Structure 1
């Protein structure tokens, strides 16, 4: 308990004192009660362990299965909506933000057939997972990995990497930019929409050229719009598709 509280005080600039951490930090409360529940779980007092974890969930909004394996100096910041599954393994000095799910993959839907098998992810040491991110299935996230908010990670991540997006893709490894070829469904959808819009604009211009007298006003309006668009050298869609903002 003391070590966890000291870690929170060190890493969270909003924490002012140890007393504040002990009284006001739901992440600290949830991890402390997990430690107690885990002791009973290892003694095969499963129902008692689950009762403790469910009580912790009720008062903190954080669900940590008592069967999970969690290392030292583990911190959950804010915490509401965090879910950590039964066979999850978390190393030392890991940090989770609110809304994170460390869940089972699709094979867990087979029910009893997967009982006793590793179904949840393994996080090695010094992993930081941003708010709303999901890490699913029996995969390994390496040491010193950063998972961006809202990402969904479905495959192993090597050490010293930064992962973003849906599905998660590595954009930095060992401090160097990675040219990841993993398809981005959102970017592909926007790209197709842009191509369709360009095609429709060409068709519309062809029709206007065929009937110039009846469309002089529309052509003038379109010209004004195009002039306004050309004032900016870069198309925002093109900028997005080229990876700006990631």
Structure 2
């Protein structure tokens, strides 16, 4: 257990630029305290001291503002940054090297006992502030959950989930070639070029509409030159299509 705690403290020191010493992490970081107390409560839970385990969990919640059910499985080097308002449910599993920010809920959507109600985070997952991951599915290795996202379905490895309900942004081929360690740590689940897929789809439609407008202009010019139509025959009426203005609205 003490080896695990040393690993946990070292991981905080490595991932948080605000941390200046091991002593500061051990004495001042509520996320570290919550994980440390959870390891004690989880030991009691696994050895059938269930009420005592819940007391430890409740004391940890009171002291840190972080609620972790003693039955939840927490891996090695898990970093809960700031942590206030974090809730991790009974059947949740958090893999090694995961990072969870304040206000995150790893919650369940089922009221049945004895079933997997809470999510599983595989190794290296980053869950941004305020995100809600709800259900008994898996968030793949190295995935990122954007701040305030509401995730209700599985997230593939190294993908990013954003929005409410969350939409999945698949990594491009170049990104797939690199591990999360090579890509670097992603604070708050924010990555470079993290465009919402819905926004991308709207931009594609706007580009297509602009191309169609240009084709119509070309066709009308040729028909007018041939004397086959007049100015009033242009099928487009009203305000002209403004690609730049609509793009700004979408962004």
Asked if these proteins are the same fold (TM beyond 0.5), I'd say: yes
Shift of 1:238: 4.0
Q: Which residue of 1 aligns with 2:141?
A: 143
The answer on 1:76 being equivalent to 2:80 is yes
1:61–1:82 CA contact under 8 A, matched in 2: yes
1:28-51 superposed Cα distances (whole Å, 9 cap, x missing partner): 000000000000000111110000
2:38–2:68 CA contact under 8 A, matched in 1: yes
Residues 118 and 149 (structure 1), Cα distance of their counterparts in 2 relative to 1, 3 Å cut: same
SS at match of 1:173: coil
2:162–2:196 CA contact under 8 A, matched in 1: no
Rounded to whole Å, the distance in 2 between the matches of 1:173 and 1:95 is 19
Shift of 1:13: 0.4
Match of 1:166 among 161, 164, 179: 164
Shift of 1:116: 1.5
Q: Which residue of 1 aligns with 2:39?
A: 35
1:11-50 matches, within 5 Å, as 11-50=15-54
Q: Which residue of 2 aligns with 1:234?
A: 244
SS at match of 2:106: strand
User: Mind listing any 5+ residue stretches in structure 1 that lack a counterpart?
Assistant: 109-113, 188-225, 227-231
Q: Which residue of 2 aligns with 1:60?
A: 64
2:145–2:161 CA contact under 8 A, matched in 1: yes
Q: Which residue of 1 aligns with 2:118?
A: 120
SS at match of 1:234: helix
Q: Which residue of 1 aligns with 2:233?
A: none
Shift of 1:239: 2.9
Question: Could you state the TM-score of these two structures normalised by the residue count of structure 2?
Answer: 0.70
Residues 159 and 234 (structure 1), Cα distance of their counterparts in 2 relative to 1, 3 Å cut: same
User: Mind listing any 5+ residue stretches in structure 2 that lack a counterpart?
Assistant: 177-192, 203-238
SS at match of 1:102: strand
User: How many residues in Structure 1 have an aligned counterpart in Structure 2?
Assistant: 190
Rounded to whole Å, the distance in 1 between the matches of 2:11 and 2:57 is 22
